Structure 1
C-alpha cells in the first residue's frame, strides 16, 4: 500500500473497530502528545494500554504502564506509535510476535518507515503512518452516524 494518502473509509474502519489501544512510547509528562491522545481515547470509551519500559508499573491517567506489548494481558486491536521512525521496525517486530495480532498499527505525525509497514501489511495488519489519530477521529462519528435513506441518523 502507498502511504501518502488514505481514504476516509480506511481510517474510519480502523478507528471504529478498535476497542483496546496500546500506546507505544506513552509519556508520564502531561505536556506530551502521547498523554493527550491517551486521555482523548479514554474519553471516547477506548481501553488504553500505555507502553514505555522506562515507566513500567507506573500509571498514566489511571492506566498501568507496561514495559512491552507482550506484557499487556488483553488482546490489542490498535497499536498507536509515539516513537521515532527508526524504532518503527522494532515495534513491528513486537507486533508480529503478539498472539493474537492487532488489526492495525498507527504512527503519529513524522513517523514513517515504509519497509516496516510492508512487513506488517504482509502479515495482514493495516498500517497508517504520519497521521494524527485525534485529527482523524471525527471520521468514526461520520461512519457510524450516517443517516439511513428512510430515517434519521443512528449509532451503529
Structure 2
C-alpha cells in the first residue's frame, strides 16, 4: 500500500476537501492544514462556501470550477453518497477519492471505480503521507 500511496501523492497537486472545517481540533481542519503545508493546493467544500485554510472554497465541488486531482472526504459513511453526482460531473474526473479514517461506503466506492476513479477508504491521508 505504501507504494500506491506514494504514487497517489506524487501525482496530486490539487485536493478538494469535502467537509473541511474551521475548527482546529477536527481532522477536517488539521489534515488539510498539514497537506497545505506539504505544498498541495487545498480547495474547500463546505455548506457555508467559506474556509480560511483553502485557497478557494465553494458549497459544492461543481461550484469550484477547477480541475481536482484528489477529493478528500470528511463526511460520515452514510453521507458520502450525497456527493457522487457532483464528483462524476467534474471534468476531468478526479483520479482519486480518499475517504478518511472511519469512512467507508462500498456502494459509493464501486460507483466511482466503475468510472475509473481510484478509491481509498478508511485511511488518514496525513498519516499515510507522513509514513512516506
Counterpart of 2:78? 86
RMSD (Å), alpha carbons: 1.4
TM-score (normalizing by structure 2): 0.93
Counterpart of 2:128? 136
Does the aligned pair in 1 maintain the 2:56–2:64 contact within 8 Å? no
Which of structure 1's runs of 4+ aligned residues deviate more than 4 A? none
Secondary structure class of the residue paired with 2:116: coil
Structure 1 portions without partners, runs of 5+: 1-6, 143-156
Counterpart of 1:148? none
Structure 2 portions without partners, runs of 5+: none
TM-score (normalizing by structure 1): 0.79
* Alpha-carbon distance in 1 for matches of 2:120, 2:57: 24
Secondary structure class of the residue paired with 1:21: strand
Counterpart of 1:39? 33
TM superposition shift of 1:42: 0.9
Q: Which has the larger radius of gyration?
A: 1
